[in-house]
């Protein structure tokens, strides 16, 4: 079985600082890392963790150094894709020792596991809160899907190409997803799409495939479905998502939310 852990929207700031003046994202990520390490014996092997964007809050070298220091304790290999709070150059410098990161252009990558190929896409538009896929990225994705020829795919990127009902976030989603939709509509293999950005767990579909939006690791976007809702955050518990694919023929992906902090239990059920 292939298992991929999705962590999203860590928003790490400089040591000692708080995100938006209220969220201790560094402590939240340290707790998440420890929780993952503690859960590994009961979850079984996990092939990879992916941080689906907004690793940092301002995209500075200091913030990436802080992020990498915290993540160094994770007992899993991990990869990242950029979000709108990231800076491509500083992110690339932070991971320059990794063979999966490109030296120029969009930060796109593919990793082939036993039962699934994980594809990371770069939706960052520098200086903008919304996302987009460049022609280069779309051409690259088309080539990857063609080569995979129906093999199961977990496609991961930051900005969702769907509306969530949270107006401030819907204004910042993935722009012009027409060609992405076309590429995925004709893909014959099992495919699951995993995004971040919204800091809330949502499930829907896109181009005929299930789409999961992961919760944030430290805080949530406020659930306010009014048309003129303000853009705000709420200090809800952090969480993450474990995506799994069973090798049994015909099996589909499962995606489970895991809380990012410890809790009491397990306790046996009474007879």
pLDDT at 19: 94
* 184-235 pLDDT, tens digit each: 999 999 999 999 999 999 999 999 999 999 999 999 999 999 988 899 999 9
265: pLDDT strictly greater than 90: no
pLDDT at 271: 65
Beta bridge partners of 257: 241
Superfamily of domain 2-259: Metallo-dependent phosphatases (3.60.21.10)
Inter-residue contact 152 to 110 (CB < 8 Å): no
Name which residue leads in pLDDT, 37 or 266. 37
113: pLDDT strictly greater than 90: yes
248: pLDDT strictly greater than 90: no
- % pLDDT > 70, the chain: 99
Domain ranges of the chain: 2-259
270: pLDDT strictly greater than 90: no
* Phi then psi dihedrals of residue 63, to 5 deg: -65, -40
250: pLDDT strictly greater than 80: no
Q: Specify the pTM.
A: 0.95
């Amino acid at each position: 079985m292939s298992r991929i852990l999705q962590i999203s929207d860590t928003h790490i700031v400089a040591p000692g600082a708080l995100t938006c003046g209220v969220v201790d994202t560094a402590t939240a990520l340290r707790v998440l890392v420890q929780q993952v390490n503690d859960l590994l014996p009961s979850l079984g092997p996990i092939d990879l963790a992916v941080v689906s964007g907004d690793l940092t809050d301002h995209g500075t070298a200091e913030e990436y150094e802080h992020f990498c220091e915290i993540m160094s304790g994770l007992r899993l290999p991990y990869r990242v894709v950029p979000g709108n709070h990231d800076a491509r150059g500083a992110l690339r410098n932070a991971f320059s020792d990794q063979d999966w990161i490109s030296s120029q252009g969009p930060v796109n990558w593919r990793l082939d596991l036993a039962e699934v190929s994980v594809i990371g896409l770069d939706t960052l538009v520098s200086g903008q809160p919304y996302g987009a896929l460049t022609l280069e990225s779309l051409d690259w994705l088309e080539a990857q899907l063609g080569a995979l020829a129906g093999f199961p795919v977990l496609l991961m990127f930051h900005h969702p190409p769907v509306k969530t009902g949270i107006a401030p976030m819907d204004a910042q989603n993935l722009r012009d997803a027409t060609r992405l939709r076309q590429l995925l509509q004709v893909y014959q293999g099992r495919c699951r799409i995993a995004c971040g950005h919204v800091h809330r767990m949502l499930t829907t579909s896109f181009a005929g495939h299930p789409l999961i939006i992961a919760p944030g690791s430290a805080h949530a976007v406020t659930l306010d479905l009014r048309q003129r809702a303000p853009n705000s955050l709420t200090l809800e518990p952090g969480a993450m998502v474990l995506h799994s694919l069973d090798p049994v023929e015909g099996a589909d992906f499962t995606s489970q939310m895991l809380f990012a902090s410890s809790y009491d239990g397990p306790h046996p059920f009474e007879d």
